[in-house]
């Protein structure tokens, strides 16, 4: 599998334009506003979970893990309006721009692709890859389905992680799910030439200078398997919507991990599932 890794010099070259175009007073063409939404999901009642039990080091050791297998997104509710799967657009392409971290224990950089424990045996909904060295195609596969366990994870080694996703049809509404509500990510809208039109930093509320978390608990618990020794036995998804003042087809997701210490930027690795509304719709943020 192809693993895209660029050096620190290349990282610096890409980081500067991101901040240069999104800093205080810098001109932007697209305004981005966060909003809350609710999600509905379902599991395959025919899938036998009885053999999936929590490991010895888990507080639920020995009990059946009822959160394994596929979890299918069935729809979302925004400001009281329900949008079903046929109104939700899947990622159609993805590109790894930078992943210059090193995970000496599990291999690869900071990016990983995973799906639910037992999801490869559950026929409820398609899933993507499970690898610590994902290719751009693996990212597209993991985003390009309705399985909420099929995610793209960002680990916490020191380094810069940037990837971009595209949609077949321009959208003004992104729907983000994050496993554990425990990672920041800078989301940027791009034009067809890759210029940043506007950015918003989604925050988890930890080490964010008093800023509250953007994520809203969904009540949906997912597991993730990447490889032996890299297994998550269950975390609740958080969600946040992003409204764009103009429809966009291409988006960039950026994460920074600097060494521990005062003033260091540590995003703590957002583990994401990303969707969009299929057509442009009026979505108002709370209070607007």
Of 274, 252, 238, the closest CA to residue 187 belongs to: 252
Give the range among 2-11, 54-63, 132-141 with minimum mean pLDDT. Answer: 2-11
State the pLDDT at residue 24. Answer: 36
Coil, helix or strand for 2?
Answer: coil
Q: Name 33's bridge partners.
A: 243
- 10, pLDDT greater than 80: no
Question: Mean pLDDT throughout 46-67?
Answer: 95
- Alpha helix (H) ranges present in the chain? 8-20, 136-143
Cα distance between residue 41 and residue 156, in whole Å: 29
State the pLDDT at residue 196. Answer: 97
Cα dist from 136 to 99, 143, 166, whole Å:
11, 11, 12
Task: Give the N- to C-terminal CA distance of the chain in Å, as an integer.
Answer: 46
CB 188 within 8 A of CB 277: no
The token pair at 44 is: 């395959």
Coil, helix or strand for 17?
Answer: helix
Of 85, 79, 15, 16, the closest CA to residue 243 belongs to: 79
Give the range among 133-142, 218-227, 263-272 with minimum mean pLDDT. Answer: 263-272
Cα distance between residue 63 and residue 69, in whole Å: 16
Question: Mean pLDDT throughout 110-116?
Answer: 97
Question: Mean pLDDT throughout 68-76?
Answer: 98
- 287, pLDDT greater than 50: no
List the beta strands (DSSP E) in 180-265: 185-190, 196-202, 216-227, 230-257
Of 21, 239, 281, 229, the closest CA to residue 105 belongs to: 229
- 193, pLDDT greater than 60: yes
Q: What is the DSSP letter of 138?
A: H
Q: Name 237's bridge partners.
A: 179
pTM: 0.88
Question: Mean pLDDT throughout 177-185?
Answer: 97
Q: Which residues contact 171 (CB under 8 A, 6 or more apart)?
A: 89, 244, 247, 248, 249, 276, 277, 278, 279, 280
Cα distance between residue 231 and residue 118, in whole Å: 11
Tell me the per-residue pLDDT of 251-285, one tens digit each, with 9 for 90 and over.
999 999 998 876 778 999 999 999 999 865 544 44
- 114, pLDDT greater than 60: yes
State the pLDDT at residue 262. Answer: 67
Question: Mean pLDDT throughout 116-130?
Answer: 97
CB 275 within 8 A of CB 181: no
Across the chain, what does the average pLDDT equal?
A: 88
């Amino acid at each position: 599998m192809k693993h895209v890794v660029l050096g620190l010099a290349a990282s610096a070259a890409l980081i500067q334009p991101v901040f240069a175009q999104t800093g205080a007073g810098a001109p932007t063409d697209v305004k981005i506003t966060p909003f809350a939404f609710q999600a509905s999901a379902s599991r395959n009642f025919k899938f036998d979970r009885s053999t999936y039990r929590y490991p010895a080091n888990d507080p639920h050791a020995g009990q059946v893990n009822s959160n394994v297998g596929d979890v299918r997104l069935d729809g979302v509710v925004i400001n009281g309006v329900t949008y079903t799967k046929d109104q939700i657009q899947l990622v159609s392409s993805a590109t790894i721009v930078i992943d210059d971290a090193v995970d000496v224990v599990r291999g690869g950089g900071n990016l990983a692709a995973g799906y639910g424990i037992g999801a490869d045996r559950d026929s409820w909904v398609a899933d993507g890859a499970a690898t610590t060295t994902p290719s751009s195609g693996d990212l597209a596969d993991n985003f390009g389905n309705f399985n909420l366990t099929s995610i793209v994870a960002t680990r916490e080694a020191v380094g810069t992680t940037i990837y971009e996703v595209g949609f077949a049809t321009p959208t003004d509404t992104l729907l983000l799910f994050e496993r554990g509500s425990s990672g920041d990510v800078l989301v940027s809208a791009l034009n067809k030439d890759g210029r940043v039109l506007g950015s918003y930093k989604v925050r988890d509320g930890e080490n964010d200078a008093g800023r509250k978390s953007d994520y809203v608990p969904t009540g949906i618990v997912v597991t993730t398997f990447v490889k032996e020794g890299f297994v998550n036995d269950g975390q609740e998804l958080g969600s946040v919507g992003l409204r764009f003042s103009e429809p966009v087809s291409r988006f960039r997701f950026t994460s920074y991990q600097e060494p521990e210490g005062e003033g260091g930027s540590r995003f703590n690795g957002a583990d994401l599932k990303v969707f969009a509304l299929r057509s442009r719709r009026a979505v108002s943020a709370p209070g607007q």
